[in-house]
């Protein structure tokens, strides 16, 4: 069981990215396999924000293209969306107290890590080095 972060999805969807082919192959393997893998709605919304944004990408996707990509994931047999449980507030509070003050983009990452912990998931595929700041999760970048 693992989570796939936004940047992995973006690299799979946008051909101009350096790891596009490798990430696309991994995503297809997970989509067609029996492995249990996950995202969060916040990851999906961040994907939509970045991939359709003209100031971020020279050739952004249309909203329809971006949703089509995400729908392929939603239809995958081993895929599921992580959602908050009753433990969510406690998880965030514990992280904030153990890490010191959470600021800026770390709040988004903390939300993902809290969802992972609530659901017993300890691995995330990402290119984002900020995830190394969180205890008890394994950050996987297979292209490093």
- The domain segmentation of the chain, as residue ranges, is 2-140
Q: Give me the residues paired with residue 40 across strands.
A: 82
- Average pLDDT in the chain: 94
Residue indicated by tokens 């998880």: 91
- Interatomic CA distance for residues 135 and 68, integer angstroms: 34
What is the pTM (predicted TM-score) of this model? Answer: 0.94
Write the pLDDT tens digit of every residue in 44-83: 999 999 999 999 999 999 999 999 999 999 999 899 999 9
- Answer yes or no: are the C-beta atoms of 84 and 47 closer than 8 Å: no
pLDDT for position 45: 97
Please state which architecture CATH assigns to domain 2-140: 3-Layer(aba) Sandwich (3.40)
Q: Which 3 state secondary structure label does DSSP give 80?
A: strand
Write the pLDDT tens digit of every residue in 89-116: 999 998 888 887 788 889 999 999 999 9
- Interatomic CA distance for residues 93 and 62, integer angstroms: 38
Report the pLDDT averaged over residues 24-29. Answer: 96
pLDDT for position 98: 87
pLDDT for position 103: 86
- Answer yes or no: are the C-beta atoms of 143 and 128 closer than 8 Å: no
Q: Which 3 state secondary structure label does DSSP give 127?
A: coil
Report the percent of the chain where pLDDT is more than 90: 83
């Amino acid at each position: 069981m693992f989570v796939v972060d936004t940047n992995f999805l973006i690299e799979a969807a946008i051909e101009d990215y350096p790891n596009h082919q490798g990430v696309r192959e991994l995503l297809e393997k997970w989509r067609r396999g029996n492995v249990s893998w996950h995202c969060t709605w916040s990851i999906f919304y961040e994907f939509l924000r970045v991939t359709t944004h003209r100031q971020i990408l020279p050739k952004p996707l249309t909203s329809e293209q971006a949703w089509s990509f995400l729908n392929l994931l939603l239809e995958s047999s081993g895929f599921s969306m992580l959602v908050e449980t009753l433990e969510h507030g406690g998880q965030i509070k514990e992280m904030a107290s153990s890490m010191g003050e959470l600021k800026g983009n770390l709040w988004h990452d903390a939300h993902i890590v809290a969802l992972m912990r609530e659901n017993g998931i300890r691995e995330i595929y990402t290119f984002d080095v900020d995830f190394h700041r969180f205890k008890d999760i394994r950050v996987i970048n297979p292209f490093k």
